[in-house]
Structure 1
Amino acid sequence: MGSTTHIGRFWLLAAACITLAVLAPVLTLAAHALQGSTGHWQHLLDYVLPNAMRNTLLLLLGVGTVTALLGVGSAWLMTAYSFPTRGVLNWALLLPLAVPTYIVAFAYQDILHPLGPVQGVIRDVLGYTSPRQFRLPDVRSLGGAIMLLGLVLYPYVYLSTRAMFATQSASLLEAGRILGATRRTVFFRVALPMARPAIAVGLSLALLETLNDIGASEFLGVQTLTVSIYTTWVTRSDLAGAAQIALSMLVLVVALIMLERYGRRRQGYSQNQRSRSMQPQQLTGAAALVAMVLGWLPVLLGFVAPALYLLAESYKYLHLTGAVSQQLLASAWSTLYIALVTTAATLVLALVVAWASRSARSSERQRWQKLFKLASLGYAIPGTVLALGLLLPFVWFDTLLEQVVALFVERAPQLLLMGSTTALVTAYCIRFLAIGVGSLEAGLARIPLSVEQAARLLGETPGGTLRRVHLPLLRPALGAAALLIFVDTMKELPATLLLRPMNFETLATWLYAEAARGTYEEGAIAALAIVVAGLLPVILLARAQFARQS
């Protein structure tokens, strides 16, 4: 028993170390920012933070409004009404999740350019011959950023709200109708208030993704806090100033998380498993046509239009050149390599945290679980903030390692961790650990405790029980987590830009560089590869959604 307890403590200690590693970047970043000179703070308060904070808050407010309208509206449309193509649209509404925000901005800059296809067709129809005679509002603006980000991120709200609407009891909605309320009144007075917790969760995820964005904001000329951190560190080489902006951004992240929890305070909804779900109303004629147009419009604008653009540009480039450049192939290989390594490392760390939480004594489990929840905070930290917070620990580690090596070997100082793929993988693991922990904890929750207790009574250790009993049962959860981590690593841009080694390009950074140079043709191939990879988790989400509703 003593040996078993010792092994169990090992799992708890390992999980605690992982949790501390997740918190380390935030703590070091805060310490460095607070040690910065007052002159730095004064300069930021006078020239940087007011404009960046205003743009960020307006962007969050606008994206929140657009995602709420599109997400909640689409969820209610799919739940309350039946019309042609509804079955396909039910999962197609998730497709914009496959397109990273910076790729949508990359595509629409060309699609809506004054010399692009959309404005060209409009001028031909109206009889104009020059962009000076007619042009649409510039997409490179705060309003353009709000619309494009909203078109990509609304599925977060749609997914959570659709699941909530689908489980609401029909008897509650029918009671409102019997009392004389219209369907509109029932929606606003009954269905919407009950769905508020789900809406808060979806909105918080969409807004955190908005904060993490750097590519779309920079492409569209919006100076947000994230863009300010990047330019302050990379362009001006001002680490203290960047750290102080990042600290301000962390305050905003904490405020968002608190707002999400406030939105769900004292909110709960329980349903009798035997209760009947609401049956959708059949629409015909003009009403069905209007429902189809409203339902498909977000899909067409958020996925179909940018995907067709990328296909056309990729075909045009391949038709002219006949081959993909060696640099792009090298970037694709680097992306595949780093994503595979990150996926394997993150799954191992997530398994340690999830299993430690599971194997803790029942009397201590709740306390340990509260601690291990901190290991999932990395996903809430924007990539630029996380990368900046890791710079100092990496430098300290390299300095310490060089001092140790110097005791035995005489050589010039070298940076071993900074500027290496190890630093990049570390940042990815911290950021995406929440995906692995959440998936594995959900998988472990489906395995009865009696299975584990039987193995322990037969003399098996916690590690042996995990290896011989739980791992085979966790294969579906491991597969789902691996897929999500792999694709999110492929799409990650902010942390990659700050921590990648010299001459190391991923598909995301290749696309960023091509867009910055204005050479869209070969960048379209990189973007298309990322979108195709992003379709895999969307299909997985769609299958899970159908399974819950069936």
Structure 2
Amino acid sequence: MIASAPVARRDRHLAALLPAIVIAALAVLPIAIVIGIALTGSGEDWPHLVNNVLPGAAATTLALLAMVAVGTASIGVTCAWLVVAYDFPMRRILAWALVLPLAVPPYLAAYAFGEFFLFTGPVQTALRALLGFQSARDYWFPDIRSTTGTAIVLSSVLFPYVYLTVRVVFLMQGRNIADVARTLGAAPVRVFFRILLPVARPAIIAGCALVLMETLNDIGAAEYLGVNTLTIAVFTTWLNRGSLEGAAQLSTVMLLLVLALLYAERMARRNQRFHGARATHMKARPPRVRMEGTQKWFATLAVLFPILSGFGIPAYVFCGYAIRRLEQLADPALQQAFVTTVFTAGCTALVTVAIALVLVNATRLSRTAAVGAVARLSASGYALPGTVLGLGLLFALTRLDNSVDAFARAHLGFSTGLLLSGTAAAVVIACTVRFLALAEGAIRAGLEKLPPHLDEAARSLGQTPTASARRVLFPLLKPALLTAAVLVFVDTMKELSATILLRPFGFSTLATHVYESASRGVVEDGAMAAILIILTALVPVVLLSRALMRDADATM
């Protein structure tokens, strides 16, 4: 009996490790294939890419990343500190509404900004009417179709990533330490730059890392605004030049850039350690500083402006077009795109949550470093740009289909055709790999709120690990499971880059429906599909905002 305990523990570790290894291998497979294609090709396209494509695309991408990082950090930190530290008109409503831009995919924001700020848009039209200008030669107006314009668009919809992470830090400890510093005579500006920013630095870096991953994944906004990023270069190299090898080589450069960003993020945070306030002190935060006079209205405008920019402009543009095109609701193409989107997103949510449960349960059953490392590797797909992921999966699924078809022809006398590549299953697999980190993180967060030895208590009463998980843990995890499913569902609805690469002929989602309309120069024809995407994406945003408003500090 004494010797059987280590054996049982070893078997349990092995049972937890094996499925995690399989999942990790499937998640890493696209990366390995892209790198393999890039390294094993003839290399004949590489000189052309190095001399003509890579320098411009890389420089543009780095400039875009830098501007988006600065923009989102500035907006997110400023808004987080204002709503946490100060009291001004509409503060509670604005604190909730600052999350709304997350419901707008970057490509929809780009289409809306383009329509809003171009020559025929309402801004320039009003400017000409007000000042009496007759043509564009009579005045200067900034061009939204530029790298700077693209950075403004992306910053407008991605800043909530920074706002949410920094707001948590400020709520937990920022106001406490700021109040202590002010009692010692420090000026508010000095307190903010010398104390609060260092405290929030890990959160700022974490939020910016998410923002930069989304920026690298973008294709619709950059293409519509005429900015040649690395993602656009991958598409044009493959589709226009017909060079899969060249596209893989550019994708490898993107992977190196992603690894560099992740390494920089870890190095920047390695020496940053701050401890949260004790739970008994969470209710004893200092009162907010009440603004008076013009200051309070400046604060209101400062917080309101990012909301109007990131959510108000897209809502205004697409609602205006959609109201004049209500007949599109009866369009069979739009209805089919909606059904396809819901079906694909639903399947992805179910598969992703199931796999995330396997990973979380594996790490819970076997708290070893090996299982933890494999689980983290499995959830690394979120850092992959959709273009790289789609390219690797396309090649992998094509090879698998060809191998199965060749075997069936040789031994069974019939052709299986395309089983995975060129089907909706390819899109589901890509989105599962890409959004597994979201589901795993949501479920793990819910699991950490439960007593650590709950399932062990159930097993001590005679339940097997599987039975204790099914009858004890999973019912208690229903809110976390629902959150994970909703997050994956909505992000799959918004996914564009991988869907464009992997979708079969005749396969149209709401995202590709809008993209095709914009590619034809008629953004207004995709307005109804855009509204459906935004309305669906509002579901998790509202849930998230309600969770924020349940915070005792936020309801003061």
Do the structures match in fold with TM over 0.5?
yes
Which residue pairs with 2:36 in the alignment?
31
Deviations 1:35-92 (A, max 9, x none): 1223222111101100000000000001011111101111111122110100100011
Q: Distance in 1 between matches of 2:466 and 2:16?
A: 9
What SS does the corresponding residue of 2:135 show, helix, strand or coil? Answer: coil
Separation in structure 1 between the aligned mates of residue 85 and residue 546 of structure 2, nearest angstrom: 21
Aligned to 1:105, what secondary structure does the other structure show? helix
Q: 5 Å matches for 1:110-259?
A: 110-134=115-139, 136-168=141-173, 170-259=175-264
Aligned residue identity for 1:493: L
Matches of 2:529 and 2:298, distance apart in 1: 36
Structure 1 residue 325 and structure 2 residue 331: aligned?
Answer: yes
Of 303, 314, 317, which residue of structure 2 is paired with 1:309?
Answer: 317
1:271-299 Cα shifts (integer Å, max 9, x gaps): 34144424221012211111111110010
Match of 2:297 in 1: 289
Partner-residue secondary structure (3-state), 1:449:
coil
**Counterpart position of 1:405:** 408
SS in 1 for 2:287: coil
Question: After alignment, is 534-543 or 247-256 more displaced?
Answer: 534-543
CA distance in 1, matches of 2:61, 2:90: 38
Query: 2: distance between equivalents of 1:535 and 1:106?
Result: 19
Deviations 1:378-417 (A, max 9, x none): 0010100101111221122112211221234334572221
What is the letter of the counterpart of residue 45 of structure 2? H
Task: Indicate whether 1:498 and 2:493 are aligned.
Answer: no
User: What is the rounded CA distance, in whole Å, between the counterparts of 1:308 and 1:379 in structure 2?
Assistant: 31
> Which of 403, 407, 416 is the equivalent residue of 2:419?
416
Q: How far apart are residue 236 of structure 1 and its match?
A: 2.4
Corresponding residue of 1:337:
343
Given residue 330 of structure 1, which amino acid in structure 2 is its aligned partner?
A: Q
Asked if residue 84 in structure 1 is aligned to residue 92 in structure 2, the reply is: no
Equivalent residues of 2:408, 2:415 under 8 A apart: no
Counterpart residue number, 1:70: 75
Q: Which residue number corresponds to residue 12 of structure 1?
A: 17
| Range with bigger deviation, 135-144 or 22-31 | 135-144
Separation of aligned partners in 1, 2:245 and 2:193: 48
Between the aligned partners of 1:450 and 1:282, the Cα distance in structure 2 is: 46
Within the candidate set 527, 530, 546, 1:524 is matched to 527
Q: Which residue of 2 aligns with 1:106?
A: 111
Q: How far, CA to CA, are the matches of 2:191 and 2:379 in structure 1?
A: 37
What residue identity is the alignment partner of 2:152?
Answer: M
How far 1:137 moved relative to its partner?
A: 2.1
Give me the whole-angstrom Cα distance separating, in 1, the residues matched to 2:277 and 2:247.
52
What is the CA distance between 1:4 and its match in structure 2? 8.6
Q: CA deviation at 1:544?
A: 2.2
Partner-residue secondary structure (3-state), 1:287: helix
TM-score norm. by structure 1 comes to 0.96
Aligned mates of 2:439, 2:267 — CA distance in 1: 26
State the shift of 1:175 in Å: 3.2
Alignment partners' CA distance in 1, 2:305 and 2:445? 34
In the aligned structure 1, how far is the partner of 2:36 from the partner of 2:518? 35
Does 2:398 match 1:392? no
The residue that corresponds to 2:358 in the other structure is 352
Secondary structure at the counterpart of residue 222 of structure 1: coil
Contact 1:30 1:243 in 2 (8 A): yes
SS of equivalent residue, structure 2 residue 44: helix
CA distance in 1, matches of 2:460, 2:179: 52
Shift of 1:548: 3.9
The amino acid across from 2:471 in the alignment is R
The residue matched to 2:228 in structure 1 has which SS? coil
CA deviation map 1:401-459 (0-9, x unaligned): 11221234334572221101111111111001101111111222222233211222233
Is the 1:208–1:380 Cα contact (8 Å) retained in structure 2?
Answer: yes
Letter aligned with residue 481 of structure 2:
L
Q: Which runs of 4+ in 1 moved over 6 A?
A: 1-5
The aligned counterpart of 2:381 is 378
Q: CA deviation at 1:32?
A: 1.2
Q: Is the 8 A contact 1:164 1:198 kept in 2?
A: yes
Counterpart position of 1:60: 65
1:66 & 1:530 partners in 2: Cα distance? 25
The answer on 1:434 being equivalent to 2:442 is no
Residues 507, 530 of structure 1: 8 Å contact kept:
yes
Q: Deviations over 1:170-203 (max 9, x none)?
A: 4532332233221010000111111100101011
Amino acid at match of 1:281: V
Q: 1:177 to 1:8 in 2, by over 3 A?
A: closer
- For the 8 Å contact 2:342–2:493, the answer to whether it is kept is yes
User: Structure 2: which 5+ residue stretches go unaligned?
Assistant: none
Q: Which moved more, 1:275-284 or 1:24-33?
A: 275-284
Does the 8 Å CA contact 2:38/2:246 hold for their aligned counterparts? yes
Provide the C-alpha distance between the structure 1 equivalents of 2:312 and 2:212, rounded to a whole number of angstroms. 23
8 Å Cα contact 1:387/1:498 also seen in 2: yes
Q: Deviations over 1:91-124 (max 9, x none)?
A: 1111111100000001111111201211111110
Distance in 1 (CA, whole Å) between partners of 2:74 and 2:425 is 42
Three-state SS of the structure 2 residue aligned to 1:279 is coil
1:514 CA drift (Å): 0.2
Contact (CA 8 Å) 1:168, 1:278: kept in 2 or not?
no
Cα distance in 2 for residues equivalent to 1:157 and 1:68: 6
Q: TM-score, normalised by structure 2?
A: 0.95
3-state SS of the aligned residue for 1:447? coil
* Segment drifting more, 14-23 vs 1-10: 1-10
Say whether 1:425 aligns with 2:428. Answer: yes
**C-alpha displacement of 1:244:** 0.3
- Matches of 1:547 and 1:169 in 2, distance apart? 19
Q: Deviations over 1:111-140 (max 9, x none)?
A: 112012111111100012333423522211
Q: Which runs of 5+ in 1 are unaligned?
A: none
| Contact 1:103 1:216 (8 Å CA) reproduced | yes
In 2: Cα distance, 1:306 partner to 1:430 partner: 29
State the match for 1:474 in structure 2: 477
| Pair 1:253–1:169, CA change in 2 (3 A) | closer
Deviates more, 1:218-227 or 1:401-410: 401-410
Maintained 8 Å contact 2:409/2:415: no
The CA deviation at 1:366 is 2.9
Report deviation, 1:521. Answer: 2.3
Counterpart pick for 1:277 among 280, 285, 289: 285
Task: State the alpha-carbon separation in 1 of the partners of residues 119 and 453 from structure 2.
Answer: 66
1:61 to 1:358, Cα distance in 2 relative to 1, 3 A: same
Q: Distance in 2 between matches of 1:171 and 1:234?
A: 56
